[in-house]
Structure 1
Amino acid sequence: MTGRFLPFTLTLQAPAIVTGPGADPNSAATLPFIPGSCFRGALASALGDPDTDPSRRDLFRDLILSGRVCFLHAYPLAQGRRSWPVPQSWRMKKDGEAKEGAPQVIDLAAKQADASSEEAAWPKESLQRPGAPFVDLDGPQPQFVRVRVGRTFHHQRDRAKGRAWEEASPHGPTRRGTIFSYEYLEAGQQFGGGVLLRGSPAECEALAEKVRSLFPPTVFVGRSRSGGYGGCGAVSWAAASGRETSAAWAALPDQLPADSMFRVFLTAACLIRDPDTGEWNPAQTWRAVADRLDGRVHLQWGRWAFATIGGFNRKWRLALPQVPALAAGSVLVFKTTAPIPRQHLLDLEIAGIGDRQPEGFGRCLVLPSLSHEFTIADPVWADQAAVADSGPAATPAQRPGTIAKLDHSGPAAPASPVLDLIQRRLLEKRLARLVADQAARLAAQARSRPTSSLLGRLRTVLGHPPKEALRHLATWLGEGEHALRRPALDQLRRCQLKGENKKTTLLEWLHKRRDARFDQLDRDLGLNALAERVHVVSAAAARQWLEQEVASLAVRWIDALLAALSLRNRREE
C-alpha cells in the first residue's frame, strides 16, 4: 500500500472550544489539540449535501466516505515543528536533580530491554508522569510542549433584569439561571495537522489537488461559534511527503533482521474490535499489528493507557457511542521472528490500525530502540529554576513605589519548608478575613452602585491567572476597541467610594489597584502591620512573601469589593 502525507498549519484567530466526552453538562472543557474529525467535517461542509447535488456524489464518496483520505489530528507546533503526544512509557523522578540544566526522563519501554525482568526494569525511585501533553522530538533536543488554555465564566441571566429569574409552572415557580465555565484554546496558537492520501502516486497527487482546492481557507472548529468562539482558523499547506515525519529519530533501516526489537508508537488513539467477539477491546491492538505484519512479530511488552472516545454526527444530529480505546502515546515493543523489509513497516504506518481512521484515529509510527534515560528541555521547569536561582527578591527600598521596611525587622532568615508553609497559611487565612471586612466596609458606603450584571462581567476577568487578569482589566478600563462600552464606564464613574479619607469613583479606584503596587495595597489593607503581627519565621520573611504575591493580592482585593457591591445590590432588590 502506498500513500502520501499532506501537512498543513492551522492558526487560531479566535478562541476555540473542542470538547471531549464527559465533563460537567453546564460547562465545557477543551481538548489540547484539534481532532481530525473537525477538518473532515469542514471539507464535507464545503462539498455540500450530495443528495441535493448528484454531480458531487462521486467526489463526496472519494474524499469523505472511501477511507482513502484520512484527516490527522492537529497537534501544537513548536518553532514550526509538529509536536507529538508524550509517550506513555516516559516517567520523571520526583524532585530529581537535573543534568545539564534540564530534567531527566526515563523511558520504561527502553529500560525494560536492558533488565532481566519487569520488576527489575522499574526504577526504585519515586516516579511521576510528565506534566506536559506533547513533546517536540524533531528539534536538536527533545522539548515538552504545552498549549495555552484560558477559562471564562458565564452567567445565564435575564437580559432585562441582569440576574437569574423564576418561571411560573403548575408545580410552582422554577428557578432559571446558572453559572458555567468555558475552557478554550487561546487565539494566536498554531497547530500542525495533515491529510493522509492512499492510492497510487498518480491517485494521491489527484486527491491532494482536490483537497487543497476544495478545503475552505478558514475553518471553524468546536462549539459556541456564535458566542465569540470557533477558532476561525487560517489554513496553510506544505509540500507532501511519504511519511508522517522525516526526522532522524524515526529513521528505519532497510530491513529489520530476525530477533530484533522495535516499537510501535501510537500518535493517535486506537479503536480496536475483538476479532472473535466484535466488542471494542483496546487490549487487542497488538494482534492487529501482528496481523498487518503477517505474524512475523511477537509482543514483548507495552506501556499504554486507555481513553474514552466519543463524537457527534452533525448530519444525524446524534452523539456517537463512547467506546474504550488505547490512548495516544501508547508504546508497544515487538520482537521479529523473521526479517521484515522497511517497506512493510511503512505500509503498516499508512494502513493504520483499527476503526475511524478517516477522523485521525489509529495512526502509528514504527521506531527503532531509543535511549532509556535522557535529558529533555522544559520551558516551565526552566522558568521555575530561574526563579529559584535568582536569589532573594529586591527590598522595597530598592524598588520604586514601595514603602521601606522597618529597620528593626532584620533580613529574611532562612527557614525550613515546613515553617514557610505554616507562615504562608497563617497569612492567607488572616488576609482572607481582612480583605472581606475591608470590602464590606467600602461597599456599605458606596453610592450609585453599578448593576449586578456589570459587576459580574468584571469578576469574570479576574478568574484568569493574576497577571493576565490585571492585564485584561486594564484593557477593559482603558480606551480602544476592546475597552468597555461608554454606558458601562459611566456606571463606574458614577459609583462613589469613600476611602483614604476622601471620595473617589469606582473607576479611579480600579485604575489604582490594577497596577498591583505594594504601597497602595499596604495603605488599603495594612500589609506591613499584618507582617509584624502574623509571622512564624520573621516579619521580613512574611513581608517578602506578601511582596511576591502582590499581583494575586490585588486581584483578590478587587474581586472582594466587586462581590460586596453585588451583594448590596441583591439585598436591596
Structure 2
Amino acid sequence: MRGYLVVELLSDACFSMPAAFDTAVDTDVVLDHFGLPMISGKTLRGLLHDTLLSLPDEWDQNADGMALFGKERDHSTAGILRIGDALLDSGVRQWARWAHRRKNPAPVKRAYLRDAFLTRRKVTAIDRQSDAPKSETLRVMRVVPKGLTLRAPITVAGTLTESQIRLLDLLTGCTRHAGLARNRGLGHVRLSVMWDEMSDAEVAQPMPHSAMNSREFIFLALVVHLTAPCLISGDDADPNSRSSRPFITGAALRGAVASAIEHTNANRGLMQDLIVSGDIRFLNAYPAVDGLRALPTPITWRRYKDPRWNDADREADGHDAVLMLAGMDDPDEGTRQLQPMDHHFFASISGRQRPAAAQMRQTIHQQRNRARGASVKGETNIFAYEALEEGQSFIGALAAPADRPDLVSSLQTLLSQPLWLGRSGRASYGGAPIFKIGAPGEAEPGTNHKRIQTGDFFAVRLTSDAILRDAVTGQHDPWSLRAAIEKRFGERAIVTQVFIRSTVCTGYHRLWRSSLPAVRAAAAGSVVLMEACENLSTWDLSTLTANPIGERVADGYGCFTVASDSLNGLSIERSRAEISETGAPSEPESEAMLDAQRRLSDKRLRVFLAYEAIQTAANARGLQGSSVIQRVRGPLRAPATWRRTYADWTSGPAEHQLKPMAREGLMSISMEIRFLHHGKLYRERLRLWDVLRRAVDTEWTPTYEFDEAERQACQITSDNVSKQIWTEARAALAPYYLDVLFRSLARRAQSEGEK
C-alpha cells in the first residue's frame, strides 16, 4: 500500500536541525538541497509514535502499534509503516528546480530560495518576578510560515487491517503540534492520510522458454527509481556517520528481496529458490544515463593534467592510457602529464562516452533521550548521513537461469510490493523504490560486444568488485584476477598486461545474522589487456562473460565485460545532466509559489531601498534640526492614511497645512533622489517639501540603481508574474522607504547639531 501523509501548517512552525546555516539565526529549519523547507520522515514517525505512547491506558493498541512502528529497541522486529520526508508539492519544486538550474538569467542563489519560503521570529525568556525580558536570552529562529502544505510518502509492507487503519487515523487526528516552541504558538498542524493504490513494478513479459534454452543465463535489466533517500553504506570508520556508496549494490537488492519474503509471509520455499540457492544473481545498479546503464570507469583511462579542462569536456581525453601503459608510443611523447578520471561512471552512447554521477544528500540527525523525549546535553547525539538523493534512477540487472522462468515470475510478484533498500529504514531512508524489469537480453546491460579478429588487442574490464582466492595458498588475493581470466579464456586469448586496483569488501549474512569478514578484492574498473589467438564472435564473448568469476556472485560480485573499441581512442561528451535547464515549467504557479515570490521580493526590496534611502540622506544639504523631520515620520505609522495626511499638510485646507516655520524647515533641505513616476525613471535634486508633495501621488514609487538586475536575481516565477509582484511590492514599500529616509536625515541633523 502507498499513500501520503499530508501536513497542513495552521501556524508558523520550526522543524529544527542541530546546527544553523549561518550566524544570523540561532535556530534553523531543515532544508532540502534546493533550500526549500522539509520535515524529516524520522520526525513525523516519531510524532505519531509519541502520540501512540500518550494514549490513555484503556486504549489497548499494543498489537497494532507494534505492527505499525515495530517493537521499541528491537531491531529484529521492524514495523510495516515507512514514512518519507515531507516536501512541498511537485509544482513548487519544479519552479524551484528551474530557478536553481536556469541559464539565463543566472541561477537563483540557494539563500534566496530559503528566504522565499521562510521567515524569522525573535523570542526571549521572561523573568517571572519582574515580568521583563531576561538578559542575554534573545534568540532568533527561522520558521516555516503558516498556510504551507507538505506531503510525505507513506509505504506499507503488505496490507493494513481495519483496526490498523483506524489506529493510524486516530494518531494523525490526535497529533496537533509539532516542532519547537509549541508553547509559544508555533507548530500547530493538521495531519491526514491519503491512500493511493498503484502498481510499483512495471515488468516486461519474459522471453518464451523456447527462446531461452539456448543459453545458461538470461539478463533482465532492473531499473530502480528512488522515491526516498537511500543509504547504501560502505566502510565507515566513524561510528556516528554513514556515507553511501554512489550506486546500489547487488547485495542491497538481494537483501531487500529477502526482507520482503520475511515480512509478507510468502511461501518459505521462495527464500530457498531466490536467495539461499543463488540461482538468481543481483547485479549492481549504476546511475542511468539517457535510459542506459553506466559502468565503472576503467582505471586505465586518463585525462590530461590541465586545470583548464575537466573530464566532461570533449577535448579532455584523446586517447586511452592503455596505449601508453602497454608500451606503445605516447602520442604526445611525454610532454603532457596524465591523471585519473574524475567521474566514477561512464555510459557508451553511439560510440561516445558520457560521464555519469550519483547525486548525494547530506543530513544531520539528532538522537534524543527516550525517557525525557528530548536530546540531553553531553550525550553523543549528533550523527551525519550522506545518502543517495531521491528522484534518481539506477539500472542494475538480474541474471536468472534460462530454464527457470518461474523464478522470474516469483520475483516479479515480490517487486510489485513495497521494498526497502539499505540502512535506517525507520528514519525514512530507502523507502519503497519503484522497480521496472526490462526485456531479457544475452549480455549484462551496459555492455556492447563486437567481433574480435585473431591478433587484435582487447580489454577485459571488471564491472563489479571481484573476490578471488589464490589457487595455491587459498587466501584472498586481488592479483588472482590474471589467473581467473586466463582460466576463463583458455587458449582463445593470452594475457599481455594487468592493471588492478584493490578494495575491501564487507557484507552481512542474513541467515547467520552476522557481518561477513572484510576481504581484499579486485576493484571494479580493473583491466586485463589481452591478445586474441582466434576469432571471437559476439556469441562467444557473451558466453564467456555470462558467468562471473570469484566468490559471492549472487550479490553481483565478479562481473566483467569485453571492450575492443577503447584501444582506438576515446570520445568524451558532456552529460545532459550537467547542462543547465533553461525552459520554465509549463505548469502555472501555485498560490504557495506566488506567496514565496512576494515574500522574497519584499525582503530584497527592503534591503536595497533602505540602502538607497541612507545614501540619499548622506548627500542631503541644508539640514537645520531634527524635530521637524521627526514630525513628518508620524503619519507613516498609519499605512492606510499617510498619503491623505501628507496631502492635507501640503495642499489641503489652511487649517490642516503645516505651519510656515515647519514648511520653511522642510524647504531648506534638498537631496538628490531617484524615483519612478508612471513607470518612468527620474533622478532629480528635490527639496524635502517637494518629496512630500510627490509622495502623495500613488504613481510615485521609490527605486534604486540596480532595480531590474535584482528583480531577475530573485525571480522564481515566470517573467511576467515576477515583474507584476515586484512592481506591487515596490509600491507597497513607499512608506518604508520614506521612514528610513526621514530617520536617517533626523539622525544626521542631530549629529551635526551636537557638533
TM-score bucket (shorter structure) = 0.5 to 0.7
Q: Are 1:267 and 2:479 counterparts?
A: no
Aligned to 1:81: 292
**Alignment check: 8 A CA contact 1:11 1:233 kept:** yes
**Higher relative helix content:** 1
Q: Aligned in 2, Cα 1:213/1:114: closer, same or farther, shift over 3 Å?
A: same
Q: Which moved more, 1:134-143 or 1:513-522?
A: 513-522
Q: 1:306 aligns with which of 502, 505, 511?
A: 502
- 8 Å CA contact 2:312–2:574 kept in 1: the answer is no
Aligned: 1:105 with 2:295: no
Contact 1:46-1:216 at 8 Å conserved across structures: no
Alpha-carbon distance between aligned partners in 2 of 1:361 and 1:232, rounded to the nearest angstrom? 24
Q: 1:40 aligns with which of 254, 266, 283?
A: 254
1:283 is matched with which residue: 471, 479, 503? 479
C-alpha deviation, 1:324, in angstroms: 1.4
- 1:520 matched to 2:732? The reply is no
- State how 1:131-146 maps to structure 2 within 5 Å: 131-139=342-350, 141-146=352-357
Q: Secondary structure, in 3 states, of the residue corresponding to 2:467?
A: coil
My pick for the range that moved more, 214-223 or 154-163, is 154-163
2:216 is matched with which residue? Answer: 2
Task: Give the Å deviation of 1:20.
Answer: 0.6
SS at match of 2:570: strand
**Counterpart code for 1:196:** A
Give the alignment partner of residue 252 of structure 1, picking from 446, 450, 470: 450
Change (3 A) 1:380 1:154: farther
Give the structure-1-normalised TM-score: 0.60
Larger radius of gyration: 2
1:205 is the counterpart of 2:408: no
Mapped contact 2:320–2:567 kept (Cα < 8 A) = no
Q: Is the 8 A contact 2:247 2:284 kept in 1?
A: yes
**Distance in 1 of aligned mates of 2:472 and 2:484:** 12
Is residue 294–residue 446 contact of structure 2 (8 Å, CA) maintained in 1? no
Runs of at least 5 residues in structure 1 that lack an aligned partner in the other structure: 167-174, 388-474, 481-507, 529-542, 552-573
Question: Contact between 2:219 and 2:442, CA under 8 Å: does it hold in 1?
Answer: yes
Q: Which residue of structure 2 aligns with residue 462 of structure 1?
A: none
Match of 2:435 among 235, 252, 267: 235
Q: Secondary structure at the match of 1:44?
A: helix
* Aligned ranges 1:208-223 → 2 under 5 Å: 208-223=408-423
CA contact (8 A) 2:312 2:355 kept: no
For 1:165, the aligned partner's letter is V
Q: CA deviation at 1:283?
A: 0.9
**Corresponding letter in the other structure for 2:479:** A
Cα deviation for residue 105 of structure 1 reads 1.7
Q: Hey, what's the Cα distance between the residues in 1 that align with 2:322 and 2:469?
A: 28
Select the residue among 381, 384, 395 that pairs with 1:181.
384
| Residue 521 of structure 1, CA deviation | 7.8
Q: Secondary structure of 1:292's match? A: helix
Change in CA separation of 1:121 and 1:320 when aligned onto 2, cut-off 3 Å: farther
Question: Per the alignment, in what secondary structure is the counterpart of residue 68 of structure 1?
Answer: coil
Structure-1 residue corresponding to 2:572: 376
Q: Within 2, Cα distance between the matches of 1:22 and 1:367? A: 33
Aligned residues: 399
* Alignment correspondent of 2:301: 90
Measure, in 2, the Cα distance between the counterparts of 1:213 and 1:304: 40
Percent identical pairs in the alignment equals 27
Equivalent residue for 2:376, pick from 156, 165, 172:
165
What is the CA–CA distance in structure 1 between the aligned matches of 2:311 and 2:478, rounded to whole Å?
A: 37
SS of the counterpart of 1:370?
A: helix
Instruction: Tell me the SS of whatever aligns to 1:9.
Output: strand
* Larger relative contact order (CA 8 Å, sep ≥ 6): 1
Superposed displacement of residue 56, structure 1: 3.8
Does residue 151 in structure 1 map to residue 354 in structure 2?
no
CA positional deviation for 1:150: 1.0
Distance 2:549 2:319 in 1: 24
* Cα gap change, 1:120 to 1:270, in 2 (>3 Å): farther
Letter in 2 for 1:317: R
Cα offset for 1:88?
A: 1.4
Q: Find the partner of 2:236 among 22, 32, 39.
A: 22
Question: What secondary structure is seen at the aligned counterpart in 1 of 2:317?
Answer: strand
- Contact preservation (8 Å) 2:450, 2:537: no
- Is structure 2 residue 556 aligned with structure 1 residue 364? no
2:288 match: secondary structure: strand
Partners of 1:142 and 1:288 lie apart in 2 by 28
Query: Contact 1:261 / 1:369 at 8 angstroms: preserved in 2?
Result: no
Code of the residue aligned with 1:520 in structure 2: it is V
RMSD of the alignment, in Å?
Answer: 4.2
What's the secondary structure of 2:385's corresponding residue? Answer: strand
How has the CA–CA distance of structure 1 residues 289 and 371 changed in structure 2, closer, same or farther, with 3 Å as cutoff? Answer: closer
SS in 2 for 1:6: strand
CA contact under 8 A between 2:314 and 2:571: conserved in structure 1?
A: yes
- Per-residue Cα deviation, 1:481-537 (whole angstroms, up to 9, x for no partner): xxxxxxxxxxxxxxxxxxxxxxxxxxx9xx96898849728969x999xxxxxxxxx
Provide TM-score, normalisation by structure 2: 0.47
Task: Tell me by how many angstroms 1:71 deviates.
Answer: 0.5
Q: State the 1:110 CA deviation.
A: 3.9
Which residue of the other structure, out of 336, 339, 354, is the alignment partner of 1:125?
336
The separation in 2 between residues aligned to 1:193 and 1:274, in whole angstroms, is 29
Structure 1 residues 527 and 335, CA gap change in structure 2 (3 angstroms): farther
SS where residue 347 of structure 1 aligns? helix
* 2:275 matched residue in structure 1: 64
